[in-house]
Chain A
Amino acid sequence: MATSSGHTIKAFDEDLDRLRALISQMGGQAEHAIRESLRCLVQHDLDGAAKIVEDDKKLDALEIETEQRAVQLIALRAPMAADLRDVVAAMKISSVVERIGDYAKNIAKRVPLLEAGHVIEPLSLLPEMGRMATEMVHDVLNAFVQRDAEAAERVIERDKAVDDFYNSIFRTLLTYMMEKPNNIGQSAHLLFIAKNVERVGDHATNIAEMVYYAATGDYYVDRPKGADSLANLD
């Protein structure tokens, strides 16, 4: 159900808008961090990676601020129905986005551990996967601000593509590791990094379910996800 006019108490509207703005801000920062971390990985940019690790603190601070504002809103405004669902969703989304930021930090931390100049072929696939995942995050947070349940549903459907991407990278890396055993270390890092990016996609799906609930009041009925299991390995 869309909301019609604004609240009689304008400050209530302002509080809700500020909360949404914080979520958007966090989302933008997390997207940027993931993309940046993958770029630093490919270009072996150590300074860039260090900066990403530093900047993660800001994301943590934003999460704390979001939580505080949400608690204040509940205490002072006694939100009901859609407003209440929005606030609860904002709180949950902020912690999920913070975790996405942590993945970016994790990736950035591995950058110095990879050998420069030693470009492993599967490395080049990661930015594309990262782009898909971060676009999912971007779109789902837009859906949250717009309270668009259908946009959230579409995001959920895209997770299959990310999962498939991860599966192919997984097989490629396994093959690579079997073929060139002296690169196992590097490949292991890449595996973890790929898993992190795949988790970003999953988190975007979680966020999409929260957005769906906030917008409609109903819970998203699970459709069968893309095959994510290890059962499909050769």
Chain B
Amino acid sequence: MSSADAAVSRWMGEDMQKRVASRYAAERRFRFFGFAAVALSVAFLAFLLINMAWKGLGGFTQTEARLMIDFPRSNLMLDPATLRGPQAQESVATAGLDGVLEQAAVAQFGEGGGEMFGGASARALGDQLIADPGLLDRKAELWLPVSSKADIAAKGDGDPAIEKLVAKADTKRLFNSGFLTASDATDPSEVGVWGALKGSFLTILVTMALAFPIGVMAALYLEEYAPRNRWTDMIEVSINNLAAVPSIIFGLLGLAVFLNFMHLPRSAPLVGGLTLALMTMPVIVIAGRNAITSVPPSIRDAALGVGASKMQVVFHHVLPLALPGILTGTIIGMARALGETAPLLMIGMRAFIASPPQGISDPSSVLPVQIFLWSDEVGRGFVEKTSAAIIVLLIFMLLMNGLAIYLRNRFERRW
């Protein structure tokens, strides 16, 4: 056999074929496991989303029922003139609309009809009266939001007795815009996420306003200006460790320094932002340093060769090229900060805040904390609201991340 023939038979022999077959099998196995891992992750994600959606979508809707109210016959101590005047809100609040509703409900639905409507309904009635004071002079059929219990019953999750009651009424489901515009309340049908949303937004603003410039400046200094010695090595190790510290420790730090020592207003986005900034800064510094290191030295050399000073090299060339990497680090830091609950609980953002904050020093809540508080509530109505709030949080995070990714892509440059 010539050497060429020997070579061919060596490669075509049975031994070789077996090896080829087992190699293909190994590759198939690997691909399968990879796919399975991805599929499992997708399944978990899908499960979470579907579960939330199932439970939470109901929170975006509100049931309304039709009620006949005979205003002249009820003993309502309101007159149209007041309703048109400046004292309208006050008079409506004190007019005892609850009683009128209960009367009318019992009249329409029989015994137990009082369960149909609640405080929210009374407030809605008051708003309608202010809008149209002429109603007081006649018998009107109004669409009013039902009580929380009735709402749950209408969605099929409540007390059997109330469900029967609701079945008797003429109901419709509406999109609950109040959920997005109102703040926390005791009545689950009246709660809204706006207060918490605004609080989250303000907190993130403070966080970014502090963490981004400080983190970027620190990264620039450490990479470009600081001498390489044991001190800077220690600083690098410390920053890396800081990024791994549990977030509740930052909460303790915030409590001790910002609240007890500096006496800043409790539960304000300012303090929350400061605490979260402490937490986010190491992430930005690390990502920033990596991005700055990855700027090729040829660009620096080119700039120096043309006679640029160190600062000009850094700000005209290094920083713009490192910006995509820095923004990526910022996205990661921000995503983490958006979802933080523990440190904010420590600094007191666990209170019941019924109105949205006006500024960064007003007491407020943040969305994750709000979710946590609602999940603790007893009322059945809070279950769907909690899930609905989770959906809002997810969408909020998606939007913010999307914005950051858009910004990063804008600044992405090829070199």
In the complex they form, whether A and B have CB atoms below 8 Å apart is answered with: no
Query: Which residues of A are in contact with B by a Cβ distance under 8 Å?
Result: none
Query: Which residues of B are in contact with A by a Cβ distance under 8 Å?
Result: none
